[in-house]
């Protein structure tokens, strides 16, 4: 997770603490809303992700707007959400492959506006 957090910090300018919270929120959101097989494989490809989301990925608000609210509550400015989510998606594409990440994004209505 350290590499992912460093990328989010570098790309968006949020603090490392906010970047860590944001990464966990995004992972939990994907775990709840995305295709289980692809998201589970993505989580496995990011060192420390499974532990960071608490094993089963439970928690967090429901839906895209719930995740948006969770991100802003965690300290991500409303106008920084797209940068943070885009940075996460770029990291995931590099770690796991663009096609699979794009499939995950396409499977969740509205997510493509952010990723």
Coil/strand/helix, residue 55 = coil
pLDDT at 60: 64
pLDDT of residue 62: 77
User: pLDDT at position 59, please?
Assistant: 58
pTM of the full structure: 0.90
Three-state SS at 114: coil
Give the residue ranges of the chain where pLDDT is below 50. Answer: 57
Place of tokens 């992700």: 49
pLDDT at 15: 97
Determine the Cα–Cα distance for residues 74 and 67; give it in Å rounded to an integer.
Answer: 10
The number of beta carbons lying within 10 Å of the beta carbon of residue 109 is 10
- Tell me, what's the pLDDT at 5? 97
Q: Are 80 and 21 in contact (CB under 8 A)?
A: no
């Amino acid at each position: 997770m350290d590499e992912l957090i460093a990328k989010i910090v570098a790309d968006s300018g949020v603090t490392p603490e906010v970047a860590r919270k944001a990464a966990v929120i995004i992972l939990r959101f994907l775990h709840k809303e995305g295709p289980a097989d692809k998201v589970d494989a993505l989580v496995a490809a990011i060192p420390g992700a499974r532990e960071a989301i608490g094993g089963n990925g439970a928690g967090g608000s429901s839906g895209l707007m719930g995740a948006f609210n969770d991100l802003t509550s965690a300290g991500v400015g409303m106008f920084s959400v797209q940068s943070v989510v885009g940075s996460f998606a770029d990291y995931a594409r590099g770690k796991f492959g663009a096609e699979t990440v794009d499939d995950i994004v396409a499977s969740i209505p509205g997510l493509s506006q952010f990723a």
